[in-house]
Structure 1
Amino acid sequence: MSDDALKPVNPLLISTAVSLAAFMEVLDTTIANVALSHISGSLGASSEESTWVLTSYLVANGIILPLSGWLSALMGRKNFFIFCILGFTLTSFLCGIATSLPMLIVFRLLQGLTGGGLQPSQQAIIKDSFPAEKLGMAFAITGITTVLAPILGPTLGGVITDNFSWRWIFFMNVPVGLLAAFLVNNLVVDPPSARKQKVDSIDYIGLSLIALGLGALQIVLDKGQQEDWFDSSFIVIFAIIAAVGLILAVFWVLQQKNPVVELKLFSIPSFSLPCLMIFFVGFALYSSAMLLPMLVQTSFGYDATLSGLVLSPGGIATLVMMPIVGKLVNKIQAKYLISFGMLISAVGMWATGLVTPQTGYGTFVLVRALQTVGIPFLFIPASTLAFSKIPPESSSNASAIVSLMRNLGGSIGIALVTNKLIHSQQIEQAHLVQHLTTADPGYQSAIANYTQSIMNLGVPAVQASKMAIAKIYQELIQQANILAYRDAYNFVAIILVVLAIIALFMPSNSLQKKSAPMASH
């Protein structure tokens, strides 16, 4: 082991090893979405019951994320990371062999618990592997896994479920996990600040309150729309539990000498404001990745594979921009890059709202690329600024909070945007129906044209008239659906424009000037 300390490993090799594990876990948060119908059919469950496959994972993941910094100190960061990799690998295999829905839900819960520490540990390890002047490039690497995986997840999930079996979305984690564990064990060395620390006592009350509050909140966000939000006593009860649990957790944790979550890091402006921006990175990334596949499947007849392929080119655009933005961070103030990224993403959201029933695949690919090309300008500068004044001993705790903010942003974004979409569908449909009257000349003309076209096929006049009305109503539903997606995208765009203005008031970061090459250490 002493040889490890004498032979520093190239940070890029370390980054590749730890990113492999984190990529696998982030991918799993979205890849199962497109497989739900296959899972429910295979296990004899309803579509509503099968959504617990997603909810159980998100609840467990959300509970562990903020605690991962504390667990890293308890076990040592490298030990904790390898434990998470192996645990995630084992539970992935168990998910693949599940023979009933309850069994799969339990294994997904365990998968979320073991995988929850992978993202923050990856970010902390990479952050500590690079010198301060190269933090931008370090977060460009973490961004590849954080941003690219949710984009590729639906595509990969669609290809696997359409051509093989839903079980392979879990089985494929096994070889990747074993390889990642081997590489991490041989390449990663904990710095003194990340080694196992003596813990005098465990704050069971703080742990319980955080687990209760975040677990209940995730259930509310994931099941709210399905249960009709606060018209459901189920949602009301869990919302109260979430609010009480989280409020008590904040008060309790702030009074502890060795808290399970370092909330006092929020007192650092260069950390708290970037965390807010990272929250909205998750909001924009996950909500837009959810909206576009739904739009092309419901209104344009795309299957799971093709709808996933609409997202993939956007991932390539993101991949290309990551290293470029990583270098720009040292030359341009982070707040200007973040503001620019917000505006670019807002334009992408607005442009997507301009689609029509005649829009083709190529246009969807272009607007998706425009949505995602701004994400690196948000994620990398915000992460660099957030960690700029964090001491090494707090890296794991800061990474845990950043990961939690991003994931919470994603969950809240999906919940709010879905609610906006459904509400807009009702409004747009009611608005369009007002034109379906005998007094509307456009409606009368359309009825006459459709009726005549159907009668030309040999259909009697009365039946042809009924078929024409049905055809027009079908077109109305499609139009209302597309207009509702326009409203949802405009909603996200407005939020991003407001944030672009707020970003300009963030603290400035110190830009690194060219200096003499430093000796390796």
Structure 2
Amino acid sequence: MLLQQESLVEYGARRVIITITAILCALLEIVDTTIVNVALNEMRGNMGATLSEIGWVITAYAIGNVIIVPMTSWLSQQFGRRNYFAVSVVIFTISSFLCGNATSMWELVLFRFIQGLGGGALLVTSQTIITESYPPEKRGMAQAIYGLGVIIGPTLGPPLGGYIVDHYTWPYIFYINIPIGVVATLLTLQFVRSPKYGEKKSANEIDWLGIGFLALAVGSLQYVLERGQEDDWFNDTTILILGILAVMGIFFFIWRELVYKNPIVNVRVLSNGNLRVGTLLSFLMGFGLYGSTFIIPLYTQSLLGWTATQSGMLMIPAALTTAFMMPIIGKMLEKGIPQQYLVAAGMFLFFVFCFWGYKIITPDTGSEAFFWMLIVRGVGMGMLFIPITTLSLSTLKGKEIGEGAAFTGMMRQLGGSFGVALITTFVSRRNELHRMDLVSKLDTNNPDVMKRVAGATANFASKGMDTRRALGSAYQSLEYSVTKQATVMSYMDVFLYLGVLFLICVPFVMMVKGKKAAKLDPSAMH
């Protein structure tokens, strides 16, 4: 076994090329999860789609992504990791071209789903390829290099998408994938090697029922999370039916994988205590990473009136801070600092970032107020990703590591989906509560309220309005102020509750038993 592990270690220029190839592929996949967000309005206009329909551009990609991630270990064994990785890049690249050339809304949705199926493999398999290309003593650094793509990717999407939409047209957000995909495919076929696997399964041994239950479970769950708030959750028949199917799919999938001789996903690997904890922490990290990446641009664009490019650029310093932290954290792990201490510190810093956000956001917060708050977020995310990954996999051996990596990857994606769905719902519900509370305090007999209405009425009258229209406009202005203040208070609540969630987790993380990162042996990750 040792010889097989060592045979995948690369040196010199070859290792550099393999590392760059894997990072490019990881970035391709992650950037594409957020780059389309800023182009949705332009797509909607071009396609003549409704707001509800255009949301499927994001939903379809996420569903394809989350279905394929748990299956990457098995697919790598069936077809060989290099072949599977190269084919995934090709599928991703071709579907990117097709997305850019789509002529109807549902064509675009179909091609985005296919793109998600191709992209899902890129994350976990990139991690494996990078890790196995480095000798054991440098694998903490390998995780740091891979982590750059995972953490920075969601941040790069909005500014890059904003720039492309502002200067070109929306199809180019897909076309930029094509040259990178072609180069990555050629480099993969030339330089990446596959480990030797056991005997492939024949068609009648393949767990087709398990694949079906998995697709039903995670596909339905992803749909519910993506569309729940917009469709009024379980008051909508489709959401209710798919919610029931998701629960049933999860139950029957777990049952099938426990009793079948050749399971598509080895759920027994979750009997490992560290992996269970790491899987939960990956979910929480995805919740915080994607949730905060979602809420900040939403706040700056909807309340402060920033452009998509301005909102995206705001996140760049935090991304650079994370990039700076990654190799430092990698070195700290190699020197034997326990992962759980770094994870606890990262969670505390994430709490500081959230509490800072809670304190500074107002209806007119300036861009300079965000700088140091986001730097703290960058440091915190840098301290979370690599230690959580190494903690999750530190007590696994052989091909279990690949199976564990697939679980953590899937849970990170689902954590992001849960984060965005819950935050959207929370903001909407809290907004209603705060608005009702504020309106109840606007007593028409209150001199201050009447003084404000009178002042606004006089202001509108001075612009040529008659008295009746000026009074109506004054009340509309007051209504707008109430709505805006209620929304700000809702965002404040999001920051506060998200921060408290991370703070509560700190003592539990400290109780986890860990191993030194240098002992991590991700030789069979797929």
TM-score past 0.5 threshold: yes
* Deviations, residues 246-297 of structure 1 (Å, cap 9, x unaligned): 1110011012232111211111112221121111110001111111111111
**How far is the alpha carbon of 1:312 from its aligned partner?**
2.0
Greater Cα shift, 31-40 or 242-251: 31-40
* Deviations, residues 327-361 of structure 1 (Å, cap 9, x unaligned): 12234211111011011111111211221123111
Structure 1 residues 344, 8: CA separation in 2 closer, same or farther (over 3 Å shift)? Answer: closer
On the 8 A contact 1:5/1:189 being kept in 2, the answer is: no
Task: Name 2:503's counterpart in structure 1.
Answer: 497
Task: Name 1:346's counterpart in structure 2.
Answer: 351
On the 8 A contact 1:310/1:361 being kept in 2, the answer is: yes
Q: Structure 2 counterpart of 1:212, which letter?
A: L
* Matched position secondary structure for 2:334: coil
1:79-118, aligned counterparts within 5 Å? Answer: 79-118=83-122
1:19-30, aligned counterparts within 5 Å? Answer: 19-30=23-34
TM-score of the aligned structures, taking structure 1 as reference length: 0.93
On the 8 A contact 1:282/1:413 being kept in 2, the answer is: yes
Q: Structure 1 counterpart of 2:158, which letter?
A: P
On the 8 A contact 1:135/1:384 being kept in 2, the answer is: no
Q: Structure 2 counterpart of 1:349, which letter?
A: C
Pairing partner for 1:481 from 478, 487, 496: 487
Aligned equivalents of 1:506, 1:5: Cα separation in 2: 33
On the 8 A contact 1:352/1:489 being kept in 2, the answer is: yes
Task: Name 1:414's counterpart in structure 2.
Answer: 420
On the 8 A contact 1:72/1:196 being kept in 2, the answer is: no
Q: Structure 2 counterpart of 1:242, which letter?
A: A
Pairing partner for 2:429 from 423, 433, 457: 423
* Deviations, residues 422-463 of structure 1 (Å, cap 9, x unaligned): 111101111111121123333223223333444444544444
On the 8 A contact 2:67/2:218 being kept in 1, the answer is: yes
Pairing partner for 2:387 from 360, 381, 404: 381
On the 8 A contact 1:124/1:395 being kept in 2, the answer is: no
Aligned equivalents of 2:344, 2:478: Cα separation in 1: 44
On the 8 A contact 1:136/1:329 being kept in 2, the answer is: yes
Task: Name 2:478's counterpart in structure 1.
Answer: 472
Aligned equivalents of 1:126, 1:378: Cα separation in 2: 19
Aligned equivalents of 1:124, 1:146: Cα separation in 2: 14
Aligned equivalents of 1:366, 1:439: Cα separation in 2: 44
* Matched position secondary structure for 2:363: coil
**How far is the alpha carbon of 1:395 from its aligned partner?**
3.4
2:233 equivalent to 1:229 = yes
Structure 1 residues 453, 40: CA separation in 2 closer, same or farther (over 3 Å shift)? Answer: closer
Task: Name 1:333's counterpart in structure 2.
Answer: 338
Q: Structure 1 counterpart of 2:453, which letter?
A: I
Task: Name 2:522's counterpart in structure 1.
Answer: none
**How far is the alpha carbon of 1:410 from its aligned partner?**
0.5
Structure 2 residue runs of 5 or longer lacking an equivalent are 1-5, 520-526
* Matched position secondary structure for 2:240: helix
Aligned equivalents of 2:127, 2:398: Cα separation in 1: 12
* Deviations, residues 470-515 of structure 1 (Å, cap 9, x unaligned): 22221111111111111111121111111122111111213659xx
Pairing partner for 2:515 from 509, 512, 518: 509
Aligned equivalents of 2:383, 2:226: Cα separation in 1: 28
* Matched position secondary structure for 2:364: coil
Greater Cα shift, 375-384 or 443-452: 443-452
1:431-470, aligned counterparts within 5 Å? Answer: 431-457=437-463, 459-470=465-476
On the 8 A contact 1:435/1:443 being kept in 2, the answer is: no
**How far is the alpha carbon of 1:197 from its aligned partner?**
3.8
Q: Structure 1 counterpart of 2:298, which letter?
A: M
Aligned equivalents of 1:149, 1:197: Cα separation in 2: 36
Task: Name 1:292's counterpart in structure 2.
Answer: 296
On the 8 A contact 2:333/2:516 being kept in 1, the answer is: no
Task: Name 1:306's counterpart in structure 2.
Answer: 310
Task: Name 1:364's counterpart in structure 2.
Answer: 370
Pairing partner for 2:200 from 192, 198, 201: 198
Pairing partner for 1:134 from 131, 138, 153: 138
Structure 1 residue runs of 5 or longer lacking an equivalent are 514-521
On the 8 A contact 2:395/2:515 being kept in 1, the answer is: no
Task: Name 1:260's counterpart in structure 2.
Answer: 264
Task: Name 2:18's counterpart in structure 1.
Answer: 14
Over the matched positions of the two proteins, sequence identity in percent amounts to 35
RMSD over equivalenced CA pairs, Å: 1.9
Greater Cα shift, 331-340 or 6-15: 6-15
Aligned equivalents of 1:390, 1:317: Cα separation in 2: 31
Count residues in correspondence. Answer: 508
Pairing partner for 1:179 from 183, 192, 205: 183
On the 8 A contact 1:451/1:465 being kept in 2, the answer is: yes
**How far is the alpha carbon of 1:7 from its aligned partner?**
9.4
On the 8 A contact 1:74/1:196 being kept in 2, the answer is: no
**How far is the alpha carbon of 1:5 from its aligned partner?**
6.3
Structure 1 residues 107, 100: CA separation in 2 closer, same or farther (over 3 Å shift)? Answer: same
Aligned equivalents of 1:196, 1:477: Cα separation in 2: 62
Aligned equivalents of 1:495, 1:116: Cα separation in 2: 28
Task: Name 1:403's counterpart in structure 2.
Answer: 409
Aligned equivalents of 2:232, 2:380: Cα separation in 1: 34
Aligned equivalents of 2:511, 2:456: Cα separation in 1: 57
Task: Name 1:517's counterpart in structure 2.
Answer: none
2:54 equivalent to 1:54 = no
* Matched position secondary structure for 1:329: helix
* Deviations, residues 108-140 of structure 1 (Å, cap 9, x unaligned): 111111111111111112222223332321111
